[in-house]
Structure formats: C-alpha cells, structure tokens
Structure 1
Amino acid sequence: VLPIAPSTYHAHVAKRRDPAKLSARARQDAKLKIEVRRVFDQNFSVYGVRKVWRQLKREGFDIARCTVSRLMRDMGLQGVIRGKSVKTTISDKAAPCPLDHVNRQFKAPRPNVLWLSDFTYVATWTGFVYVAFVIDAYARRIVGWRVSRTAHAGFVLDALEQALHDRQPVHRGGLVHHSDRGSQYVS
C-alpha cells in the first residue's frame, strides 16, 4: 500500500522497537531533547534557542546552536518574543465593504487589469514606518508606493494615485484594484 520498499518499512519498525538500532545522531538527539526540554521548562518556557543553547554550553554540553534550533523546532518549543506587536489591519465589521471581484485568483491576462494593494510596517531606529504599495498582478511589479509615519487612509491613496499617474491604465474592461478590508482601504 505504501510507495516504499518493504525493507525500508521493516527497518523503521525495527528501530521503533529497539532504540539501540537507531543511528548515532538519532540516539544523541533523544538524549539532548531531554536536556533541552529541562532547560526550557526550568526557565518558565520563555527561553529561545540562543538562551537554551548558552545554558547547555554553561552546563558542559558540547552542542551546536543549529542543533538546539532543530531540536526545539521538532519538539514545538518556542521562546517568548519581546516587543509590542503592531496591528495594521483593523476591520470594521459594520462598515459596508466592496465585493471581492478577484475571488483569490491573482492572475491577470495583461498589464493594468488587476492591481493588488497592501501596506506593512518596518521597524527603524526612530520607530515604525508604514509602507503602502500597489502591485500589477500581470508583471508582479510594484507600480506605486508611499511611506508614512502614520497608517492613515491618505497614504494608501497616495500610493494608488502614484500608480494611476505613472501607468495611466486605459482598458475597455476596466481595472480592478484589490486590497484587504482594513480601515485605510475601506475608507
């Protein structure tokens, strides 16, 4: 039933029954996972890869940082991430919203038929800066963009106006401009 050689299946079952038949790396990983879990739990489940690795090195374990990263990923362990999360999309469920004319099909037969818009934030030394951009779905190229210190409706419209000015789309079928339902775009 499985698309593998029967010998592969039997070897896997034998390793599961008898851990001594596992490879040296797999045996070492099993021992190290116990230590990684111990350090992680002793530190209130907040330590990330770097701190777990440093603690293990202090305790005398000869382990690489990438190994700690791999083991933590395999066990589903993740440290707490510092910093404040920035929420850029704030939807108003009561506000009327335009229909989705794209239906998640982001392909266009020619340029200037479908434009996609979004904005994101970038952390700089002086704080967050917001970047709005308009992408032509056919060319997969940014055709308009704008940067602002605040996420207001005007700066996303400036990016769209730049794209309209630069590309000057003229088609009988029209141009579809698709964005998320954030307050900056719905406004």
Structure 2
Amino acid sequence: MRLLDEEFTQHNFKGVLGLRDHLRLAGHAVNEKRVRRLVRRMGHEPIYPKPRLSVPGQGITSYPYLLRERPATAPNEVWSTNITYVPMVKGFLYLAAVLDWYPRYVLSWQLSNTLDMGFCLQALADALRVAPAPHIFNSDQGSQFTSPAYEQALLQAGCRISRDGRGRVTGNAFIERRWRTVKWEHIYLNPADDGRHLHQQLHAYFGYYNQRRPHQSLGGQTPAHVYRMSPTFKHNHIWRWSKWG
C-alpha cells in the first residue's frame, strides 16, 4: 500500500491498470483485482475526466459545482475539504482537512482509523470555530460529505454547497496538491511509528506550512500572512485530535 500511495500521490492520473503495472515493474506479482481493492481501501480516486458510470445514490441531494469560473479573491470566500490515506511504519490512518482556497491556509485537520463521517464533521466544526463560515464550501461526492449530517452542518452555518461533478476533473485541486506536499515533504521522509507520533508530526508540519512556508502563488508570502490580512482572522487556532487526545 505504501508503494501504491507514493506512486498515486506523485502521478495521480494513473488508473488501476497503470498502478498494477507500476507494482509489477517493481517486482510485485499483483493482479488488477488486488490493486483495485487496495485503492478503494485507501480511498483514492485518480484525477482525470472519466465516463459517467454511476449516479448518486437515492436520498443524496444534488448540488452544482459553483467554482468553474469563480476564483476566490479573499479569505473565507471558498473552503474545501478532502480525505487522504496516510501510511505509517505499521498500518495507516486517514487524514481530513479543511482548506481556505485563497490563502491556501489549512484551517483544521483530523485523523481517523476509519472512513466514517465523524472525523470529517469534527474537522468542519474546528474550522468554523476559528473562522466565519465561507460563502462556498466545496467537496467531492464522497459519502462523508454527502451525508445529511454534514450537509445540515454546512447549511446551518450559512454556506452554499458546491460539489465536484462525477466524471469530471476534481475541483479540489488545491487540497489535492496540499496532500502531495505534506506527503513528499514530510510523511515519506519521516514515517510515523504510530498514530500518536503521526499526530505530533502533522501538528508540527501544518504549523510550518501555514506560518513559514512561502508560496509562489501568494507572491512569496506564507498562507498565514495572507490570511491575517482578513479582518475576520482570529488568534485562537484549534488543533484538536479526537482519536488519541
């Protein structure tokens, strides 16, 4: 799974067959069925236009993608969220984060050992405690984000809901790039021993990422510097951890 995650993170346009061939070239005798099962277990989905092979399940409210030609121009206009698989020396965890699009600022994050909805809701609640609700909140169509509880939390906060369309390139490209950054700059270089160690590492890394890592897209400034330009900035950032706190 570690090899799959590294290849997927670096070249996430690859589908199951491409990942299978990558493992075979590395000397691993795997078939398409096994690779597909592992990819699903990790919660990965390649980022490229795909045919519409399925439709949302019954009871799921349909929301349009609102960001096709609407770039964010200030903090707290657009937030997005996503989940990624994080390998450790032994085992793995899932990481969910909420990102402000304009300053690339990581507002909150949570770890979980399952793909349940609870840690995603907690990350959302943490973000809403440190900043006003955004005008638009974007996500993919994962079951965690299309659940009635998650949807109601967004609507009660006053957000307009935006969702990536099935069979289209993801609108969450910013947060996908953040996953690549944190993995290649930190996680793969310093694999965590366990969940507690991983939390300590991510706490330190996201502090560095927000406060000290400059971005070319921000004119060489850090996410925190740009975010502080917003009159709504608060100095009570919350880094909560529900699983091993």
TM-score of the superposed pair, with normalisation by structure 1: 0.50
Higher relative CO (Cα under 8 Å, sequence separation at least 6) belongs to 2
Q: Give the number of the structure whose alpha-carbon radius of gyration is greater.
A: 1
